[in-house]
C-alpha cells in the first residue's frame, strides 16, 4: 500500500494551502499530523464537517487557500453549506476518505459511503474516486489549479481499499 499522504501534503504546501480543516479520521491521521506540524499551515480540528466549509470560505475571503479533510460519513453534514461555496463561487478542495465500500465492517457506514459521491455531484462538487494510493497525490495536484484559479469545487475521494482495513479492534 502506497503512503499517499506525503504526496498529498507536498502538493498542498506547493499550492500555498495555509488552512487545513479536518474532522479527525484514522485514514487521514498522517496527513493531519503533517499539516499540524507545518509552520506555514494552520490545521483546525472541527466538531462537524460543515464548520470546515464556513472556515474555508472565511479563509478565502481573507486571502488564504484551504483544504477540507474528512471521512465520507461527513458528506451528509455538508450538503446545506455546499450551497454557500457554489453561490459565492468560493473554491473548495476536499479530500474525502471513503467508508462503506471495500471490506467495510460497520453497516452504519454503508449508506453514506455508497452515496457520498452522488450527493457531492448533485451539490455541484466535481468528484474523482481514486482507487490506487499512488494516484492520490497526482489527483490532488491536478485539482489545485482549477480549484484555486477558477474557483472550482473538487472532491478527491480516496477509495476504502487504499486505506488499512478498519475494525473495532481490542
Domains and CATH numbers, the chain: 4-162 (3.40.50.970)
Which regions in the chain score pLDDT beneath 50? 1-2, 170
Length of the chain (residues): 170
Q: What is the pLDDT of residue 46?
A: 97
* Residues 10 and 138: beta-carbon distance below 8 Å: no
Q: What is the pLDDT of residue 21?
A: 98
Q: What is the pLDDT of residue 167?
A: 57
pTM of the complete model: 0.90
Cell of 96: 474525502
> How buried is 89 (Cβ within 10 angstroms: 0-12 exposed, 13-18 middle, 19+ buried)?
exposed
* Residues 77 and 50: beta-carbon distance below 8 Å: yes
Q: What is the pLDDT of residue 163?
A: 74
Amino acid at each position: 500500500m502506497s503512503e499517499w499522504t506525503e504526496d498529498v501534503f507536498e502538493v498542498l504546501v506547493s499550492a500555498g494551502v495555509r488552512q487545513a480543516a479536518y474532522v479527525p479520521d484514522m485514514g487521514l491521521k498522517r496527513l493531519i499530523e503533517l499539516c499540524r506540524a507545518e509552520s506555514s499551515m494552520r490545521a483546525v480540528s472541527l466538531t462537524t464537517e460543515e464548520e470546515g466549509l464556513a472556515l474555508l470560505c472565511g479563509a478565502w475571503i481573507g486571502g488564504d487557500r484551504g483544504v477540507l479533510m474528512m471521512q465520507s460519513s461527513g458528506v451528509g453534514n455538508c450538503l446545506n453549506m455546499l450551497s454557500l461555496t457554489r453561490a459565492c463561487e468560493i473554491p473548495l478542495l476536499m479530500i474525502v476518505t471513503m467508508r462503506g465500500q471495500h471490506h467495510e465492517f460497520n453497516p452504519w457506514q454503508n449508506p453514506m459511503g455508497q452515496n457520498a459521491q452522488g450527493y457531492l455531484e448533485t451539490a455541484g462538487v466535481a468528484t474523482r474516486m481514486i482507487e490506487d494510493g499512488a494516484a492520490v497525490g497526482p489527483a490532488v495536484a491536478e485539482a489545485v489549479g482549477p480549484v484555486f484559479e477558477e474557483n472550482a469545487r473538487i472532491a478527491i475521494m480516496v477509495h476504502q481499499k487504499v486505506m488499512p482495513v478498519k475494525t473495532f479492534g481490542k
